[in-house]
Structure formats: structure tokens, C-alpha cells
Amino acid sequence: MSEKTSIAFRTKCVHAGNGIDTETGAIRRPLIMANSYRLPEDASTLNWSDADQLLYTRNTSANQRYLQEKLAALEGGEDCVVLATGVAALAGVFFTFLDKDAHVVCSNVSYIAVYRLLQEYFPDKYDIETTLVDTADPEQVKQAIRPNTRLIHIETPGNPTTRVTDIAAISRIAKEAGALLTVDSTFASPYLQQPLARGADLVIHSLTKYINGHGDAMGGAVIGCKELVDKIKRQAMVNLGGAISPFNAWMIMRGVVTLPLRMRQHSESALKIAQFLESSPAVAFVAYPGLASHPQHEIAKKQMSMFSGVIAFGLKADVATHNQFVNSLTLIVPAVSIGHDESLMVYTGPTDERNHFYPAEFQNGHLRFSVGLEEADDIIADLIQAFTICGLY
């Protein structure tokens, strides 16, 4: 990979991890649907948990290795481990680096699986405590540090609030505390944000979202220095069995090629649509890092090249009208996930158990809107007709 580290990001998306197939001469890595590989003549000294040698697909597969090479190049990391889902990647990090009686500082609004792992399962099983804070305020993070703090985990932009955390500022706090800083950068993708360059120890992605980009394959990745990634491979991949299927790795490898093109379109359309929503009399609030009204807009400008495709907003309406609005859309699909080619929207009502952690404007319910690759004006027209049906215009 060394010869592919100095080329531009868009070129890496095409060439990193790729190569000529030696058997057929194909110019694209083939899909290798094998669960076992030919052993060496002397297998007596093999480490059966080796995650770098092709032995058995639970340890690693050829397609997984190609994808890991590509993603490490895109994030500027020494190594990468690819797992079955984004949650497998998150759980793998926590399982590997958190021992009994450790303490974690985490974003107080985060992906629901992170909340479950750190607030329920890890405390109950391993006496690991987590302090949830608004990580957009570095002082809150600093005040939460304890002598046994081993990990600071942030999402930026955060799910679903789009809250932005200053990675470099939190990195300084983590280093002073002797803790690892892990950054879930799924909402940004490697094209828009480079957490390792800003001091993160590990960057995590749900590959299911923007990196795959087509809504048809699941995966997760952790990228960083080889020493840390090797630990995750040994402890949380091989021996917990969270390996990605070769087919999904191959599909995601295909999807990455167009990542820069897609992220520019997602970002350009989302900004235009967010500006429209902010000007609409039907809308109570809009949270999008590209808007000057976003509380962390200046930080977002500093650490992101564009602002991605996720908008959070709420209507001047009750729960029933929010649901009617979502079900009146014709192009935008009512579905969970982000980063698909089609636009997706999901409504979360005020009964969400994490509601008290949300900013005040979110607490009456909110819509998470993943802007797709359609023409922005067509999406705006779809929003207008749904507003009209609901009597909001």
C-alpha cells in the first residue's frame, strides 16, 4: 500500500486495496466465497487465531483484507479491521479496551446501541461505568475524567442531533488523562472528516451507511495504529466471531469507489434543503452543521470539508401530524438508516428513553432526514406537498 499513500483521496477510492487478479488477469478483485484456505505444508506451528493469515474466514477473508487496505488508506491509518456491522465494530472496541472497573466518558446523545452497551450491558456484566456528557463542551468532558478513565468515545456529527464535537480539543484531554479517544465518524465519512489527523486514536464507521452508500450491504470498521487494531482483531473479531461476509466486503469495496462523488452530492443537496426547511413556516427547528444557526457551525467548518447529508428537524405540530407528514411523502422513504442513494426519514417521538439528553428543541419529537442523491428541487417539492396535505402550509 505504500505506493498508494501519497495519491489524492479520490484516486485512493479507486486504487487502494485493488489489484490484478493473478489467476485470471481480471482488473478488479474477485469475490472469493470460501470459508477455508489451503494450509501450508507444515501447519503444526500455526496460530489458529491469527487474523492476518488466510486460514479460515472467521479469522479473515481475502475480500476483507482488500477492504481493510482501502479503508486504512482513506483514513490515513496504519491498519484497519472490518467487522460484520457498525455495532460489531463499536462493541469490539469496547470489549477490547475496557477492563473490569474501568470508566468511560461518552457523548450523551449517541447511537442507541452505544447507549445500551455502555449504560446497561457493560455496567451489569463488568462493573464498567460510563459518564454521559455533552462532548461539544470540552469542559464537561474534562470535569468527567476520573483516575480510572480508560476511554473517551464521541460521535461527531452525533446521531440524531448532528451535534459536532471538537476532535482536537477532546484529544488533548484524552492524552492528559492517559485515555484512548475513539471517534464514530459515520455521519461524515472519511471524505469529509479525518479524525486520526486531529488526534483520535481510533476512528469507527458503520460501513452500512455512507461508505457502502447503496443500502444493500452491512459492515463496520475500526481504523488506527497497528498495535491497537491488532488487539481488536485478536480479541473481538476472531474469538467473538464478528467477521464480515466476503460478499458484503466485496459489495462495500465496490461502493467506496464513488464515495467522494456521492458525499459531495449529499452535502450540496442537504445544505439547500436545510436552508429551505429553515425558511419554512411549518418547521419549528432545523439542526444541520452547514447552517450558520447550528450551535457548532464554526467547529464543523474547521474540521469538516463539507457537512454531509443528515438533517434533524421538527414541525410545529403534534405527534400525529408528524407521523402523517412522514407517511404523506412520496419520494422520501420512511425507513431507518442513512447514506442510501434514496432519501430516508424517520420520526422519533417524545417517549424516547434518551429524550432528556436531547437539546430542548428535540424533546417534543424530531425527524431524522438522510438526504439522498435525488435532485434537491424534487425533494423540496415532496416536502411541500406533504406540508400541504398536513395543513401546515
pTM of the model: 0.96
Q: At 216, list the grid cell.
A: 444493500
Q: At 388, list the grid cell.
A: 400541504
- H runs (alpha helix) in 235-333: 246-256, 259-279, 297-303, 319-328
Q: 366 pairs with which residues across the strands? A: 348
**Where is average pLDDT lowest: 1-10, 54-63, 183-192, 333-342?**
1-10
Sorting pLDDT into bands at 50, 70 and 90, what band is 355? confident
Buried-exposed string 166-189: b where 16+ CB fall within 10 A, e elsewhere: bbebbbebbeebebbbbbbbbbbb
pLDDT value at position 4? 53
φ/ψ of 265, rounded to 5, equals -70, -45
d(CA 377, CA 369): 15
Sorting pLDDT into bands at 50, 70 and 90, what band is 2? very low
**Where is average pLDDT lowest: 46-60, 156-170, 291-305?**
46-60
Complete domains list, the chain, with CATH: 9-255 (3.40.640.10), 260-390 (3.90.1150.10)
Which whole number is the average pLDDT over 376-384? 98
Sorting pLDDT into bands at 50, 70 and 90, what band is 380? very high
Inter-axis angle of helices 319-328 and 376-389, to 10 degrees?
130
Residues 6+ apart with CB under 8 A from 34: 57, 61, 62, 246
Read off the pLDDT of residues 266-294 as tens digits, 9 standing for 90 and up: 999 999 999 999 999 999 999 999 999 99
d(CA 141, CA 175): 13
Q: At 194, list the grid cell.
A: 479525518
pLDDT value at position 6? 81
Residue 5: pLDDT above 80? no
Average pLDDT, the chain: 96
Radius of gyration of the chain (CA): 21
Residue 1: pLDDT above 60? no
Chain centroid to Cα 182, Å, comes to: 12
Residues 6+ apart with CB under 8 A from 128: 98, 100, 101, 102, 103, 104, 118, 122
Read off the pLDDT of residues 241-260 as tens digits, 9 standing for 90 and up: 999 999 999 999 999 999 99
Residue 383: pLDDT above 60? yes
Read off the pLDDT of residues 25-64 as tens digits, 9 standing for 90 and up: 999 999 999 999 999 999 999 999 899 899 999 999 999 9
Read off the pLDDT of residues 305-340 as tens digits, 9 standing for 90 and up: 999 999 999 999 999 999 999 999 999 999 999 999
- 284, 294, 281: which is closest to 318 by C-alpha? 284
